[in-house]
Structure 1
């Protein structure tokens, strides 16, 4: 019975770890508590839901977001990918199909990295979505 309990606990640990995985830069893995650090810049790329629009989450996760993360280099602390599943209000449409978020140390370094790569980033949209994203740049205050 002890062996079964140990195996069950290990399986639960692996499942919870897999559910909580986030994409991080190699440096961020060493300092994962820095993610909620006051003063970080958060760039949210939100894809609003609309009837007939498409979004390929697998491509976004495996190709697009890693490409953009590569442009950001050491300025990137972490990035996350969220897949919309429901509205917070019953019987209301899904507000966003997906949201990609980058946490960076410096807004000016972010802009310097994205500027020369903007055309490549935009050209890749056609590979995963028919949605024009809404982008919000904010500062983490807590």
Structure 2
């Protein structure tokens, strides 16, 4: 009985170790192009996070096809400086393999994407395109 339990524990530990070895690292994103769409906070402005998460971002992600590696959605909660206003109320980020492929995929849908803004916000986003270094 003790041997069976010990063997089971060893198998469990081996499977956990295997899982940990396969865990993605920050370096997995290295070289990807990151498109951050940042929505500045302003008193009295609206942002419908539920719509953004369930409709807008999935729509844009579908336009990107296989060039899209992943996307994230962030909800601003505080400024990094105490007692200062929140800088951004939301940030949507697309990680893609190729900037030129991203631009080709978005170009025919640009008007559709912009027209959808009115469904979730009245804020003009700030967009930053960068390359992941680490």
* TM-score class, shorter: 0.7 to 0.9
Q: Report the TM-score when normalising by structure 1.
A: 0.75
Structure 2 distance, partners of 1:119, 1:36, is 33
- Which structure 2 segments of 5+ residues have no match? 1-22
What pairs up with 1:24-35 in 2 under 5 angstroms?
none
Larger Rg: 2
Segments ≥4 residues shifted beyond 6 Å: none
Structure 2 distance, partners of 1:93, 1:36, is 34
Q: Which residue of 2 aligns with 1:43?
A: 35
- Equivalenced residue count is 112
What pairs up with 1:69-80 in 2 under 5 angstroms?
69-80=61-72
- Which of 102, 111, 116 aligns to 1:119? It is 111
User: Residue 96 of structure 1: CA displacement?
Assistant: 0.2
Structure 1 distance, partners of 2:133, 2:40, is 25
User: Residue 32 of structure 1: CA displacement?
Assistant: 5.4
What pairs up with 1:1-142 in 2 under 5 angstroms?
36-142=28-134
CA RMSD of aligned residues (A): 1.6
User: Residue 85 of structure 1: CA displacement?
Assistant: 0.5
Q: Which residue of 2 aligns with 1:3?
A: none
User: Residue 117 of structure 1: CA displacement?
Assistant: 0.4
- Can you list the C-alpha shifts for 1:75-129, whole angstroms capped at 9, x where unaligned? 0000000000000111000000000000000000000001110000000000000
Structure 1 pair 35–127 and aligned structure 2 pair: CA distance change class (3 A): farther
Contact kept, 8 Å, 1:46 with 1:98, in 2: the verdict is: yes
User: Residue 33 of structure 1: CA displacement?
Assistant: 5.0
- Which structure 1 segments of 5+ residues have no match? 1-30
Q: Report the TM-score when normalising by structure 2.
A: 0.80
